[in-house]
Amino acid sequence: MSRNFYILAATLALFALISGGMALVPSSFQPGLPANGTLWRTIALLLLLSALASAFIGVMSNLFEQVDRHHEAARLAARRNRRRRP
């Protein structure tokens, strides 16, 4: 599950870099596109923030999955130990 969030974060970060690059391109090279540099910077900032949020969710879900796996392994080990004792 966390892998999907990592992929989403990487994609959003790539689009943020592209948007940041578009802010540096002169408006004469952008026919039909918004020429306002602040608009591109705002879009880049929003994409970057959403990429960071997605990466954070991915890290947290990975940690919770790891804790769940360790808890399940400990529960099964305790169950095996109870069965061995007569």
Q: What is the pLDDT of residues 10-33, one digit of tens each?
A: 999 999 999 999 888 877 776 766
Q: Which domain holds residue 71?
A: 2-84
Q: Are 83 and 41 in contact (CB under 8 A)?
A: no
Provide CB contacts within 8 A for 6, sequence distance 6+.
Answer: 54, 55, 58
Confidence bin at 55 (pLDDT 50/70/90): very high
Confidence bin at 50 (pLDDT 50/70/90): very high
Domains: count for the chain: 1
Q: What is the pLDDT of residues 63-77, one digit of tens each?
A: 999 999 999 999 998
Rg (CA), the chain: 23
Residue 32 gets the label, from left (phi > 0), alpha (psi -120 to 50) or beta, of: left
Q: Are 15 and 47 in contact (CB under 8 A)?
A: yes
